[in-house]
């Protein structure tokens, strides 16, 4: 990871460059680079304060969370489903495939499939609420 990133990271003085050779996981990288870059003392602190989990119980609009089981950065076991089970407003959509950025194409097009899922969820939410769709020409 260091070899791939050193031209971008070598000028940043917020972390110790010599520790990057020891990176073996995303957690290691986040502890050495991302957390200090964002002003956090550790990867765990960065994860805790960057997590949407702290706010899920406050959501009062239909919201979908799309996550792939094969996400190489956020392990699906880290996602706790109890908030989703108790809320009338949030839905968890776990897919087998999709990676981290959810922008794998449908077929040969360049459209992210997650955008299609979000659009379908939005349309269903509008229909459920009884809101008329805008007319298109």
pTM to 2 decimal places: 0.64
Which residues have C-beta within 8 Å of that of residue 56, sequence separation ≥ 6? Answer: 83, 84, 87, 90
User: How much is the pLDDT for 75?
Assistant: 79
CA 120 – CA 24 distance, rounded (Å):
39
User: How much is the pLDDT for 58?
Assistant: 93
User: How much is the pLDDT for 97?
Assistant: 79
91 neighbors 65 (Cβ within 8 angstroms)? yes
User: How much is the pLDDT for 103?
Assistant: 60
For the chain, which residues score pLDDT lower than 50? none
CA 41 – CA 105 distance, rounded (Å):
37
User: How much is the pLDDT for 42?
Assistant: 95
Residue 33 token pair? 């680079």
User: How much is the pLDDT for 5?
Assistant: 65
User: How much is the pLDDT for 109?
Assistant: 56
User: How much is the pLDDT for 78?
Assistant: 81
DSSP 52-95: GGGTGGG--S-EEEEEETT-SSS-GGG---HHHHH-SSEEEEEE
| 19-29 pLDDT per residue, tens | 777 888 888 88
């Amino acid at each position: 990871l260091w070899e791939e990133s050193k031209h971008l990271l070598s000028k940043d003085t917020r972390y110790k460059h010599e520790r990057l050779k020891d990176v073996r996981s995303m957690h290691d990288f986040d502890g050495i680079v991302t957390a200090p870059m964002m002003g956090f003392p550790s990867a765990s602190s960065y994860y805790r304060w960057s997590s949407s989990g702290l706010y899920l119980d406050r959501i009062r609009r239909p919201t979908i969370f799309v996550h792939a089981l094969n996400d190489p950065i956020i392990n699906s076991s880290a996602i706790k489903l109890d908030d989703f089970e108790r809320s009338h407003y949030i839905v968890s959509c776990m897919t087998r495939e999709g990676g981290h950025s959810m922008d794998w194409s449908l077929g040969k097009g360049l459209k992210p499939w997650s955008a299609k899922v979000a659009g379908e969820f939005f349309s269903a939410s509008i229909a459920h609420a009884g809101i008329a769709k805008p007319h298109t020409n």
